[in-house]
Amino acid sequence: MGRIGMPEIIFIAVLILLFFGGKKIPELMKGLGKGVKSFKDGMNGIEEDINKESTEETKKEEK
């Protein structure tokens, strides 16, 4: 397997355009964007929970 070059990328883009059609692609990208945003929000929520728990543990240890 070699690297993916510009001709391969163009070929894949043309296949996607033919497979889904021009009207479906914006809808697919919108759905993909919402999915990525939801994933990032979930990851930020986990980080906040971890930080909150560590802060609470630190406060308990100080007492």
DSSP structural state of residue 29:
H
Q: Higher model confidence: residue 25 or residue 38? A: 38
Whole-model pTM? 0.53
Residue 17 has φ and ψ, to the nearest 5°, of -60, -40
Residue whose entry in the numeric block shows the structure tokens 């391969």: 8
DSSP structural state of residue 11:
H
Are 25 and 16 in contact by the 8 Å Cβ rule? The answer is yes
Query: Residue 63 has what pLDDT?
Result: 61
Write the pLDDT tens digit of every residue in 30-49: 998 999 999 998 888 888 88
Query: Residue 25 has what pLDDT?
Result: 80
